[in-house]
């Protein structure tokens, strides 16, 4: 059975939402202690805003080594796109499923909202 990498899963999710890899503005991936997402371990994989094409390619290559089907530690990941959309994902070993959640910033109000006191 073929294993699924973070890169493959991310590309699939972006395509499902008519988005592309090149819309990614910044991203982070952090391994955490098992069952404790508040305790990072090891080195995080980060793509900073204003990144170069070379930085992007190196970041993307690292995602090919993150295997969802392995016994890797738990993790947190967030990816920010240039169009006010972001994705996040969490995985713990006891969770049978994890998936990307796509968020869109709601539109800003067109006029002031009166707050009754």
Q: What's the confidence (pLDDT) of residue 60? A: 92
Q: Where are the domains of the chain?
A: 6-103
Tell which wins on pLDDT, 101 or 74.
Answer: 101
* Alpha helices per DSSP H over 17-52: none
pLDDT digits (tens, 9 = 90+) for 58-70: 999 988 877 665 5
Q: Give the Cα-Cα-Cα angle 48, 95, 29 (nearest 5 degrees).
A: 10
Given a cut of 80, whether residue 88 has pLDDT beyond it is yes
**Distance between CA atoms of 12 and 6, rounded to whole angstroms?**
10
Given a cut of 60, whether residue 18 has pLDDT beyond it is yes
pLDDT digits (tens, 9 = 90+) for 39-59: 777 778 899 999 999 999 999
Given a cut of 60, whether residue 6 has pLDDT beyond it is yes
14-19 own/partner pairs: CB under 8 Å, 24+ apart:
17/85, 17/102, 19/81, 19/85, 19/102
In the predicted model, what is the mean pLDDT of residues 72-90?
A: 82
Tell which wins on pLDDT, 36 or 13.
Answer: 13
């Amino acid at each position: 059975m073929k294993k699924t990498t973070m890169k493959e899963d991310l590309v699939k999710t972006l395509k499902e939402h008519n988005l592309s890899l090149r819309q990614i503005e910044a991203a982070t991936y952090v391994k955490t202690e098992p069952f404790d997402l508040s305790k990072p371990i090891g080195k995080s994989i980060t793509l900073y805003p204003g990144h170069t094409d070379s930085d992007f390619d190196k970041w993307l290559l690292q995602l090919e080594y993150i295997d969802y089907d392995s016994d890797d530690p738990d993790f947190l990941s967030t990816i920010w796109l240039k169009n006010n959309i972001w994705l996040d994902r969490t995985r713990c070993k006891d969770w049978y499923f994890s998936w990307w959640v796509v968020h869109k910033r709601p539109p800003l109000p067109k006029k002031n909202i009166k707050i009754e006191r």
